[in-house]
Amino acid sequence: MSALLLGDTAPDFEVETTQGPLHFHDAIDGHWAILFSHPADFTPVCTTELGMTAKLKDEFDRRGVKVFGLSVDPIEDHRAWIGDIEETQGVALNFPLIADPSKTVATAYGMIHPNADNTATVRSLFVIGPDKKIKLKIEYPASTGRNFNEVLRVVDSLQLTAKHKVATPANWMHGEDVIIVPTVSDEDAKKAFPDGFRTLKPYLRMVAQPDA
């Protein structure tokens, strides 16, 4: 299967998770979602990542985001790993961890690296919109823990773009000025942003973040 591209529909699947059976498209219907994979259970970096994700549950909930972890290990190993996560990270896992021993999901999402020396999933992260389209994908090496502040920042940017016709500049953080997308005419921009905007170049117009 060819690699998934931004804008593609996220493949649907039915799996077993640590919170029971899951039909993915039904579970995420009308919500934003994050699906991220781990090479294997009982791996050190991923243990810290799952703990951090659990600690950020309120932040994901506030953004209407459902989070799902995945590895190709069986459900029994997942359940054993949960105990280690709680013991070492000081938080109980509060989102589904998908068991994919058949590698069905990993294959559908291109999570198996063809040049890897084993069948472990690469460390992929997908952000999926309420329309079930892939909005972002990132891959990390096994040695580098994911920055979940960056994941939240990207979600904020994607949700802002989905609601308003704006883009976010380099290093943008929530509350900072944003860019009016070039497809919006000046006339329409005046209607959409009645408090005004700054034109640095005809293609670069800055405006205060809506709903800040």
Q: Which residues are catalytic?
A: 46
Q: What is the pTM of this model?
A: 0.91
Per residue in 189-201, pLDDT (tens digit) is 999 999 999 999 9
Predicted confidence (pLDDT) per residue in 79-125, tens digit = 999 999 999 999 999 999 999 999 899 999 988 766 654 555 678 99
DSSP H or E stretch at residue 21 = strand 20-23
Please give the C-alpha separations between residue 102 and each of 38, 55, 60, 79, 207, in angstroms, as whole numbers. 15, 30, 29, 18, 49
Name the CA radius of gyration of the chain, rounded: 19
In the numeric block, the tokens 């077993």 are attached to 16
State the pLDDT at residue 143: 85
Over range 151-157, report the average pLDDT: 97
Q: What domains can be seen in the chain, in order of their start residue?
A: 14-145 (3.40.30.10), 164-207 (3.30.1020.10)
> Mean of the per-residue pLDDT values for the chain?
93
Output the six-digit token pair for 103: 């590698």
